[in-house]
Amino acid sequence: MKAMILAAGRGERLRPHTDITPKPLIQVGKHRLIEYHLLNLAKAGITDVIINISWLADQIRHTLGGGDEYALNISYSDEGDEALETAGGIIKALPCLGDDPFIVINGDIWCDYELSRLMNLDLRHEAHLVLVNNPEHNAGGDFAIEQGLIRNTGENKLTYSGIGLYTPEFFEGTSPGKKALAPILRKKSELDKVGGELHNGQWVDIGTIERLAQLRSYLS
């Protein structure tokens, strides 16, 4: 199984940090943010990782290289000067990801979820999402879970963690180009094509300077 880390974004809300350092390379505790994902993927038994890049792409390439330091084979999907957003980035990288299900992780989160769970999952849908309890900044949640299926509505909506398992079939019929993942997830959920689970552990979306400081404090 392969994995993809989404790391092409500009990180506007983390400026001025991201003016000179791409968000995935920001130091958080002992490691750079993206290194937590790389180490967790290697721990789970993943060997091949694709990272999409755009903003300050050369810094990411130079810092992570081919992945030897993490016992991984890292390759890059370069989106040029303008990032393709979540779905667009994944679709561009599909030729590198192969025909089997693959893990996708947002590069700007931190989570203690055991990725080996996804590797051992009996996948019965086109995608499987890891949801978490709602943080203050997303109190209304994103999706509900009903009998293992992701629903767009429900009384107890949860937050998408940015971690999921996807099949190439999930993206069939979606044209290349700049586009977000959320609308596709909602459409597929209406068709009972997306499963999910709740992770009750620790999760942080590093979307603001304040949340970055909170994670640094937690990991110190």
Residue range 130-134: average pLDDT? 97
pLDDT attached to residue 16? 78
pLDDT attached to residue 11? 72
Q: Under 8 Å CB-to-CB from 68, ≥6 apart: which residues?
A: none
First to last CA, the chain: 33
Count other C-beta atoms under 10 Å from residue 216's C-beta: 14
pLDDT attached to residue 79? 93
**DSSP label at residue 137:** G
pLDDT attached to residue 107? 94
Rounded to the nearest 5°, which phi and psi values hold at 201? -85, -155
pLDDT attached to residue 13? 77
Nearest to 50 by CA among 12, 80, 79, 10: 79
Average pLDDT of every residue of the chain: 94
pLDDT at 20 over 90: no
Domains and their CATH numbers in the chain = 2-219 (3.90.550.10)
Taking only the tens place, the pLDDT of each residue in 198-219 is 999 999 998 888 898 889 988 8
Residue range 48-65: average pLDDT? 96
Rounded Cα distance, 99 and 97, in Å: 7
Taking only the tens place, the pLDDT of each residue in 134-163 is 998 999 999 999 999 999 999 899 999 999
pTM to 2 decimal places: 0.94
CA atoms within 13 A on the CB side of 113: 25
**DSSP label at residue 175:** P
Evaluate whether 198 touches 150 at the Cβ level (below 8 Å): no
pLDDT at 36 over 90: yes
pLDDT attached to residue 104? 98
pLDDT attached to residue 158? 98
